[in-house]
Amino acid sequence: MALGFMVSDAVAQSMQTALAAATDAGTAAVINIYDGAVPVNCGAGPAGNLLAQLTCSSVMFSATTAANPSVLSAAAIGSDTSADSTGTASFFRILTQSGGTVIAQGTVGTATCDLILNTTSITSGSTVAVTAATISLPTG
């Protein structure tokens, strides 16, 4: 049988509000971009190299929507104007601040991924920018 899990609109909004609060627990959330295999969970250490670190607004996410799916959109995310390393970006982690607690992780790409970047081919010293950052939960 196909997967079809969903939550109510109210639960989705509550979950996204809690996620937004968790990201804002530090001074300013950061998004670390890595190459290599995606860790099995947020508690596992990354096996890849840190390619770039982007600083988020002091309030990372705007209010959640009541639409289906419920969407949480990121506020402004600063570009990393001098990438740390060269590699092919494969995943990201959101941390409460630089060196802070890992809140979430997901895949990166230039389309149809959890976090959309200007490029996944990152060269040390180049600019890395987020072009789209939303989190959607199916509701019904």
Residue 125: how many CB atoms within 10 A of its CB? 11
Cβ(46)–Cβ(88) below 8 Å = no
Cβ(134)–Cβ(73) below 8 Å = yes
Tokens of 111: 């389309």
Alpha helices in 4-127 (DSSP H): 9-23
Reduced to 3 states (helix: H, G, I; strand: E, B; else coil), residue 113 is coil
Q: What are the start-end ranges of the E strands in 56-140?
A: 70-73, 87-88, 91-95, 102-109, 115-117, 121-122, 130-137
Tokens of 125: 């010293």
The separation between CA 88 and the C-alpha centre of its own chain, rounded to angstroms, equals: 17
In whole angstroms, give the CA distance from residue 35 to residue 89. 4
The pTM for the full model equals: 0.88
Per-residue pLDDT of the chain (140 residues; tens, 9 = 90+): 667 787 887 888 888 888 888 988 888 999 999 999 999 999 999 989 999 999 998 888 876 766 666 778 888 899 999 999 999 999 999 999 998 999 999 999 998 888 899 999 999 999 999 988 877 776 76
The separation between CA 57 and the C-alpha centre of its own chain, rounded to angstroms, equals: 13
Radius of gyration of the chain (CA): 15
Alpha helices in 3-110 (DSSP H): 9-23
